[in-house]
Structure 1
Amino acid sequence: MSIGTESAVAPLPEHLSARELLSTGQRRFSLAALGFVLGSVLLWAVTGYGVSALAWAQIGVIAMTACYVLVIGYRVFLVLLAPRAVEPVGTEIPDDELPSYAVLVPLHREEAVLPSLLAHLDALRYPVGKLHVLLLVEEDDSTTRSALAGHDLGPQYEIVVVPEGGPRTKPNACNAGLARVTAEHCVIFDAEDRPEPDQLRKAAAAFAHHPPEVACLQAELAYWNPWTNWLTRMFAGEYALNFRLTLLGLDRLDLPIPLGGTSNHLRTSALRELGGWDPHNVTEDADLGIRIARRGWQVRMLDSVTLEEANSRTGNWIRQRSRWIKGHLQTWLVHMRHPRRLLAELGWRRFASFHLTFAVSNLTVLCTPVFWALSCWYLLDGPSRIEPLYPGPVLYAGVVVMLLGNLATIYLFIVACMVRPGLHRAVPAMLTIPLYWALMSVAAIRAVTQLARPKRRHYWELTAHGLVLDADTAR
């Protein structure tokens, strides 16, 4: 069932690998910064000069308040730019002129969703002779391999066994598949994905329309089961905000786009030149989007939708989200090993967007419980004890930011539900955004904890699929 032979992939430069959490320079800078803060506090305690612990706490409160303003303001700005961002490409390419296409599908204990997956892959409207579907299965995953043996696979399919020895991650499996790809373009689909049947044709037409500098096309991701429960409604609203609005704003401004984990259509030659995916990064997709931007290439949004299964169980959702946050922090640390080089390659606009997307936004999620706790303390105990931490102007600014920020976030989620077809019934659920943010903070704390533990740093927490039946989506 194999078409083509193995091809070489350029090695990923070590300074762009997440194998190590911090570089030597980052460790030295972190220790120097910590030493400076502690030294200034000690100096103040002994001599009265320097900066007190309370002053540092006030600086932290002011800085975090500014971070919240930046993140929310930036998101509103991107949403305002989104409506005119995508230009649909309607050109239909004849079958004999279509480029060859490879579909990479990493599988790990996914026997429950195999029938649905194969049905949607079979439904792809693309010439079989130009299609190469690689089903990537871990060597010790006998369950999935046995389940595949029970299906009558067409000539476009190849089962690729991912050998043991490397990190047990999705990007490691994708790299094993990439070595087998000879097609001009390739795309990643997850096990639970339901891509539009003509998505590959749309991508082929878009690649032909765009200049060679466009190395990747990101299709829109949405959920087919938003009505399962409250969690899936919130998740669907978040995806609508991200893929229907925020990423389109990034596209319009030509800013780095953090790729979603699936439906990334890539020029195979560009992907090989970049060194494939980082097997040690648990959000290899987002990292790849930044590496594309650093090379001076572009990611554009594709006018096509892939449906996925929204997480309907809280524990499963937290494990998945903590992996995403952990990977975004990994990505930020990796690319900040040489800040001046990163600035030179991205330019000021992209450099600022990178920080807002990967660092500042996750920092606000991580710190949200602290500010909620301080607010409760203020309400229960009065202003006397907390007033030293919050000087008058800072307190009033913080209250305004909290109120307007939450209202703005709720408004953005409501707008996203209104622009995503069929999601308007989820609008009432968006009023409970603070509860959803609390879950996000739990995931963020879990992510940071795992990053601090070397044995869990690259651990890929598997997301269970097949938890929802199609009948549940009608509720």
Structure 2
Amino acid sequence: MRGLAPFQTVMLTAFTAAFALALWFWPARFAGWIVAGAAFAFLVMAVWRVVLILVSAAPLPEPPIPSVWPRYTILAALHDEAEIVSQLIERLSRIDYPPDRLHGLLVLEAHDHETIAAALAAPRPDWLEVLVTPPGRPQTKPRALNFALTHATGELLTVYDAEDAPDPHQLREAAARFAADRSGRLACLQAPLRIRAPDGDQARFVDRQFAAEYASLFETVLPGMARLRLPFPLGGTSNHFRVDVLRAVGGWDGWNVTEDADLGFRLWSHGWTLGVMARPTWETPPGGLPHWLPQRTRWLKGYLQTWGVHTRKPWRLGWRGAFALVMTVGAGLVSAAIHGLTLAWVTAAVLVSAMAGLPPETPVLALCVLVLGAASAWLSCAIGARRAAAPYTAGDMMAAPAYWALLSLAFVHAAWRLVLDPFAWDKTPHRREAGPEGISPAASEAETHDALDATAPLRLSAGHAAASEPVA
């Protein structure tokens, strides 16, 4: 659904009018109000990060083992992944779950002949099938997942990406946590995503900052919000769902390029809750600025879409859900928009003062809040990195503002792309990892399954899937 809703139109008009009136009648005070408002927002975010760090400190309790393991469906939507589809199959085959209770689908696009051929040629366990999505619009990952959802036979379902290396025991933990849920309202569990560069090399600036950013999100922010029983934007992979609930809420929004972020809040708006788990999934970083920028552009564009969808009728989220939306999606967008400007302002103030031989004329309140905000971000990254066993040194901390400034470049690109091509999916290329099948630390210690069956069934679906409407 495109265009502003009546509520959004009223709020935007009121904000614009208040801004214009304040600028007209109180121009001298207006700048001070903006600085004070920004300082207050930075202070709230800094305190919020510290709260999440503290709340997320306690380890998750071990759930009891269920008497019966539920049937589980694994979905992996791939596009132009011929190079690494066999690697993904190798990793999925190491999953430690009763094979007779597993059902997996490699979801491929009809025109992607190379990936289809590679998937069919690779040895696959009996429970893993190839499902070809018929042509249709929009050509996005969530549309493919929605098509696969109609073929899912499990009571529980998880989604993996092409480059993923999930902990072999992840499905058992998720099934046990769902079984132990006494509320009956738990709809989704998010596994932590941890970044490791190919061949174990994380020397590149963007890769190291990306790993720290992931560690902050998946080791402190999301566990903290789950402990506070708040909704949060899901990661694009390794989320575990109850299939009946997923179908009841309409699956994924096929038009949202960060369908995971949207779905977390949509589940909440329907009365369901989200949780986290301990067993991780390892991923590789995008691989430098040329690949990082399109990926981050897509994420921010999807955040803009998610913000637009869920602020149409924000009361459906309740005050707690609306607060969580502001502190995650809203704060992420605002931070990305102003990081570059903030760094430019600080740099210019220091350079001008140095050239003039004078101390910087920076408001003390603004400077203190800025330092506090940066310190809380550093702390969240450092503690998250320690929990994820990821590198994060003093040098990484000093270089972090430059990485944050790059987010502003991605934000401008995302806003422009939202106007020109809102539903285009900027694909991140992936390469097969070197070494013995690119095995993750946990996977290398896990027992492998017996020899795989190369004649696993193929499911080809004829016909054309109708393009779904955007979720309102």
Residue 37 (structure 2) pairs with residue 72 (structure 1) = no
User: 1:194 maps to which residue?
Assistant: 165
Which of 294, 297, 312 aligns to 2:287? It is: 312
User: 1:23 maps to which residue?
Assistant: 5
User: 1:360 maps to which residue?
Assistant: 331
CA distance, structure 2, for counterparts of residue 219 and residue 103 of structure 1: 14
User: 2:451 maps to which residue?
Assistant: none
CA distance, structure 2, for counterparts of residue 28 and residue 164 of structure 1: 39
User: 2:407 maps to which residue?
Assistant: 440
Deviation of 1:67 (Å):
2.1
CA distance, structure 1, for counterparts of residue 79 and residue 322 of structure 2: 36
If asked which structure has higher relative contact order (CA below 8 Å, sep 6+), I would say 2
Aligned-partner SS, 1:71: helix
> 1:94-144 CA deviation, whole Å, 9 max, x = no partner?
6xx211110110000011111210001111112222211111111111121
Residue 390 (structure 2) pairs with residue 415 (structure 1) = no
Correspondence 1:29-428 to 2 at 5 A:
29-31=11-13, 33-34=15-16, 37-38=19-20, 44=24, 50-52=25-27, 55-84=29-58, 86-89=60-63, 91-93=64-66, 97-211=68-182, 212-225=184-197, 227-228=201-202, 229-339=204-314, 341-342=315-316, 345-346=317-318, 348-381=319-352, 395-421=363-389, 423-424=390-391, 426=393, 428=395
CA distance, structure 2, for counterparts of residue 431 and residue 33 of structure 1: 37
Aligned-partner SS, 1:261: coil
Alpha-carbon RMSD across the aligned residues, in angstroms, is 2.5
> 1:234-253 CA deviation, whole Å, 9 max, x = no partner?
21111111111111111111
* Alpha carbons of structure 1 residues 424 and 441: separation in structure 2 relative to 1, 3 Å: same
Query: Amino acid of the residue matched to residue 247 of structure 1?
Result: L
TM-score normalised according to structure 1 size? 0.84
CA distance, structure 2, for counterparts of residue 359 and residue 192 of structure 1: 29
CA distance, structure 1, for counterparts of residue 2 and residue 395 of structure 2: 44
> 1:414-457 CA deviation, whole Å, 9 max, x = no partner?
22222223x2465542331111111222112211222232xx11
* Alpha carbons of structure 1 residues 403 and 467: separation in structure 2 relative to 1, 3 Å: farther
* Alpha carbons of structure 1 residues 381 and 435: separation in structure 2 relative to 1, 3 Å: closer
CA distance, structure 2, for counterparts of residue 413 and residue 158 of structure 1: 39
Aligned-partner SS, 1:303: coil
Query: Amino acid of the residue matched to residue 98 of structure 1?
Result: W
Q: Is the 8 A contact 2:65 2:176 kept in 1?
A: yes
> 1:135-159 CA deviation, whole Å, 9 max, x = no partner?
1111111121121121233331222
Q: Is the 8 A contact 1:86 1:248 kept in 2?
A: no
Q: Is the 8 A contact 1:101 1:130 kept in 2?
A: yes
CA distance, structure 2, for counterparts of residue 203 and residue 435 of structure 1: 38
Aligned-partner SS, 1:86: coil
CA distance, structure 2, for counterparts of residue 349 and residue 29 of structure 1: 20
* Alpha carbons of structure 1 residues 473 and 176: separation in structure 2 relative to 1, 3 Å: closer
> 1:345-379 CA deviation, whole Å, 9 max, x = no partner?
43x33322221111123202211222333334433
Aligned-partner SS, 1:452: helix
Aligned-partner SS, 2:132: strand
User: 2:425 maps to which residue?
Assistant: 460
Query: Amino acid of the residue matched to residue 365 of structure 1?
Result: A
Query: Amino acid of the residue matched to residue 221 of structure 1?
Result: L
CA distance, structure 1, for counterparts of residue 392 and residue 20 of structure 2: 52
Deviation of 1:78 (Å):
0.5
Deviation of 1:23 (Å):
2.4
Structure 2, gaps ≥5 residues long: 355-359, 441-472
Q: Is the 8 A contact 1:69 1:405 kept in 2?
A: yes
User: 1:5 maps to which residue?
Assistant: none
* Alpha carbons of structure 1 residues 414 and 56: separation in structure 2 relative to 1, 3 Å: same
Query: Amino acid of the residue matched to residue 254 of structure 2?
Result: P
* Alpha carbons of structure 1 residues 20 and 161: separation in structure 2 relative to 1, 3 Å: same
CA distance, structure 2, for counterparts of residue 168 and residue 359 of structure 1: 27
CA distance, structure 2, for counterparts of residue 40 and residue 303 of structure 1: 50
Structure 1, gaps ≥5 residues long: 1-18, 45-49, 384-389
Q: Is the 8 A contact 1:108 1:144 kept in 2?
A: yes
Deviation of 1:304 (Å):
0.8
> 1:302-330 CA deviation, whole Å, 9 max, x = no partner?
12111111122212111111211221221
User: 1:14 maps to which residue?
Assistant: none
TM-score normalised according to structure 2 size? 0.84
Deviation of 1:380 (Å):
4.2
> 1:172-216 CA deviation, whole Å, 9 max, x = no partner?
110010011121110000011111112111111111111321111
